[in-house]
Structure 1
Amino acid sequence: MAKIYDFNYKYGEQKVVLPPGKYLLECWGAAGGGGCKITDTNLRSKGGYSKGELTLKKETALYIYTGEKGSNYAPTFNGGGKAMMHEGLSNGETLYCNGGGATDIRLIGGSWDNEQGLLSRIIVAGGGGRNNFETKGGDGGGDAGGDGSKADSKGTQTNGGKGQVGLDGSFGKGGSAVSPSSRENYGGGGGGWYGGGSGYNAGGGSGYVLTENSYKPAGYIPTKEYWLENTSMTVGGGIAEENGKAKITLLQGLPFLVISSYTSEQAVFTAGHTEENKLSKIEWFIDDVLKEAFTTDLYLEKTINYTLEDNALHTLKIVVTDINNMTYEKVVTISKSIMPLPTNANLQDISTKLTEIGEGFKNGKTSIINILALKNIDSSLNNTLVELSEKIKALFDSGDASIENLMNQLIQANNTITQLNSKYKYATGTTEVQKFSGKANMYGGKYGNTFDRNINDWIKIDNLGFVPNIFYAEHENVTVNSVFYKCVVFAICNIPIFSNEQDFTIDTSFSKEKLDNVDFRAAGIVCTNNERDVYINQNGVCIPASNNYFNLHYRWHAIKFI
């Protein structure tokens, strides 16, 4: 039997982790509130219905948000607009005038109205708009929801519905009502892809299904791997007076594969399938030449051995096939001299690997696939390298690849690494205090007490290679008179500070008798940087330093991070 995941209404996210497979996703939006005098439930607004088929090639976490039906006073869960409280009813009737919440499935969890979460929705069923006491509000959608008493009060694929007296609908949210009189009744619009507008009868929210041709707003997160097929949306496909719900049904399981390790001589992997006993064979290839096929013990971990004849780049491809001829494959690049990045690879490792790849290419093998993305490094760099490797692979697959093409791509990657290195730098070392006569301007000119001071002891570091934002140095020593000193120098450059004064250096010396358990005495100066003989710039660092003992050595650290 097909595996089914049911999600009834819950005030909060519901998470499911799905293995690879083809799934039917279905959502029903929640009904709008109000309409307490309507005896025919068909005359009360309903939520929408949306469905589509999604094929997942890898294990994927999805987050389900089920809409709450229209209720009293507070906005309903997942986007239903808030009603205006009605005062002065003589018959004691209770009003449920809020819009119904949408039901959706998204890639990012958290609070339902989190912007990133709303921008990660792949399927939505709109909520119904608030009903008047005797007439119907707009149903949830659909490409668009249903209109309430005002035209254009429905949510659409690109805009929220217009409010009658109150707020318009917006992305993911129904409009809330604002009443001109305590005797008037205005309710909230339905939640949805775009929410419905508020009104006497409020508009319904729109539905949405992600496809190749669907509207994708600015900042939309899901990529083409989440496009759905065989989709449909129905306005009013939900149930009157009911909360929203969702269902995910496994239509067809898929094979999958995990390569746990590989070298220039051996690979270890495990194959699997969403459903039991569905695998039919496993094949592995070197440079698209079939080397071996397995038809037994397909679910057990396997080790394959191979011999590479040269130092060029080669491809190892492993293909898993099930009884329905559905396949899953992984391709990795192997070489006698070039192997994947280690788990603790840094920027220098990546730069070296690029050079190795270039040399391997010159050896004559024109096949490189995704080696740059074999390690999960910092996301901004990883995305750039993945994009780069896809470009390289496309060139090879087209048959038009050349050494010049490859080298251009390698230069691009090295430029990226250079840019990152220019933003994040660290250096450290030990330096001796230098003695020469110089001057420093004391800090605090804005308060009218600027003056300079003669300085004879300096920390001076040339050719640092970058301009640090933070420089720190320290030393401690005991004099011949048994006085203990702790000397600290701290400087900043190009960092916003409280008073918006200049960058500064603090040079402080703490002292006490070595064996006495008393507080330290302190003395020091604060001077402005890049004035007189004090500087932190491309030439290096030159700042005052305490020298309570001849020829002190300071341990220093320089950091660039912005």
Structure 2
Amino acid sequence: MPGRISVSLYDETKGQRNVDDKSDNYQILRYPCSSSTQVCTPYVVRLSRGIYKIELFGASGGYPNNDPNLAGRGSYTSGHLTVSQEMTLYVYLGQQGKLNGPRTFNGGGRGSIKAGSSGGSTDIRLTPGQWGNFESLKSRIMVAAGGVGGHLHAYFHTGTHGGNLTGFDGILTYDPNCSPPEQVSKAFGATKERGGISGKSNTISGEDGKFGIGGNPANNQKYPSGGSGVEMRVSEFF
């Protein structure tokens, strides 16, 4: 008997269902909330018995100069899930970053005056709650990281793309207008054991990432933040 997929919002007061209902056994979920707020809600996905293919797409970061090519892209991950009895999943879709934007929903770091905020991660959890709730974060079974925001610092720089088991390291740049150019250490992507490490200079330092949460740039500076996803696809796998 074919599997059946049922999709609803966890809190209908915070968003609007944005689902492409291809069929009872193939659904595409998209970000359900306004881009003008950082408050959103997860989807509730109920699966009947069957084998399902699940794909997650990370949210991209924000970008300067109205050029989306400067945004770091979110990562992609996929897998198969065998369901022997009805199962409920909670799907958190990350919010896309924007220039000088605040922290994005589901873990993306904030932007700054010349840099985009990072995209939030997209993940699947077994326990619902606020996106940053530790017990809920611990229940994640699948994650697609968001991309880092692009920035303008003498030149335009593309944000790094979301990683998988290990995040991508930052790109080391300097401002040639500084005399002499200020020495800056590059940022390092997150690993399974620690969050991302921010870039540092001899005068300022960004904020490191933490479990499930991207880092932030130094206050009032023009550097991007760390990424922490914007679509999910689930279909029965034959």
RMSD: 2.0
TM-aligned CA deviation for residue 143 of structure 1: 1.9
Q: 2:104 maps to which residue?
A: 76
User: Which one has the largest radius of gyration?
Assistant: 1
CA distance in 1, matches of 2:192, 2:54: 19
CA distance in 2, matches of 1:251, 1:55: 9
Higher helix share: 1
CA distance in 1, matches of 2:49, 2:132: 29
CA distance in 2, matches of 1:26, 1:250: 12
CA distance in 1, matches of 2:92, 2:110: 18
Which one of the candidate residues 99, 111, 117 is aligned to 2:118?
99
Within-5 A mapping of 1:345-494: none
CA distance in 2, matches of 1:54, 1:73: 36
TM-aligned CA deviation for residue 163 of structure 1: 0.7
Give the 3 Å change call, closer, same or farther, for CA 4–37 of structure 1 in structure 2.
Answer: closer
CA contact (8 A) 1:174 1:189 kept: yes
CA distance in 2, matches of 1:152, 1:144: 13
Q: Which residue identity does 2:170 align to in structure 1?
A: G
Which one of the candidate residues 169, 177, 183 is aligned to 2:217?
177
TM-score by length of 2: 0.72
Superposed CA deviations along residues 116-136 of structure 1, whole A, max 9, x for unmatched, are 111011110000112113111
Within-5 A mapping of 1:485-524: none
Give the 3 Å change call, closer, same or farther, for CA 147–37 of structure 1 in structure 2.
Answer: farther
Q: 1:44 maps to which residue?
A: 71
CA contact (8 A) 1:67 1:101 kept: yes
CA contact (8 A) 1:139 1:147 kept: no
Q: Percent identity?
A: 36
Q: 2:232 maps to which residue?
A: 246
Structure number with greater CO (CA < 8 Å, separation at least 6) is 2
User: Does the alignment pair 1:166 with 2:195?
Assistant: no
CA contact (8 A) 1:9 1:244 kept: yes
Query: Counterpart of 2:136 in 1: which secondary structure?
Result: helix
TM-aligned CA deviation for residue 153 of structure 1: 2.2
CA contact (8 A) 1:105 1:123 kept: yes
Gaps of 5+ in 2: 1-22, 33-39, 173-185, 200-204
Superposed CA deviations along residues 355-390 of structure 1, whole A, max 9, x for unmatched, are xxxxxxxxxxxxxxxxxxxxxxxxxxxxxxxxxxxx
Higher strand share: 1
Count of residues paired in the alignment: 187
CA contact (8 A) 1:136 1:148 kept: no
Gaps of 5+ in 1: 87-94, 192-242, 253-562
Deviates more, 1:21-30 or 1:134-143: 134-143
Q: Which residue identity does 2:190 align to in structure 1?
A: G
Superposed CA deviations along residues 322-348 of structure 1, whole A, max 9, x for unmatched, are xxxxxxxxxxxxxxxxxxxxxxxxxxx
User: Does the alignment pair 1:153 with 2:188?
Assistant: yes
Runs of 4+ in 1 over 6 A off after TM superposition: none
Q: Which residue identity does 1:77 align to in structure 2?
A: F
